[in-house]
Structure 1
Amino acid sequence: MNQETRVVKTLGKRVRQFRLKLGWSQMFLAAESGLDKSYIGSIERAEVNPSIKKIARIADALGVHVAELLEDRRK
Structure 2
Amino acid sequence: LAVARRGKVLASWELRGGTGVIAEMPGDTTNTPGFWAFSVWYFPQFGKTYSQLSTGERDSLDDHWGRLRQLIHRYFNAYFVTAGN
Structure-2-length-normalised TM-score: 0.27
Structure-1-length-normalised TM-score: 0.30
Judging by fraction of residues, say which structure has more helix: 1
Judging by fraction of residues, say which structure has more strand: 2
Name the larger-Rg structure.
Answer: 2
| Larger RCO (CA within 8 A; separation ≥ 6) | 1
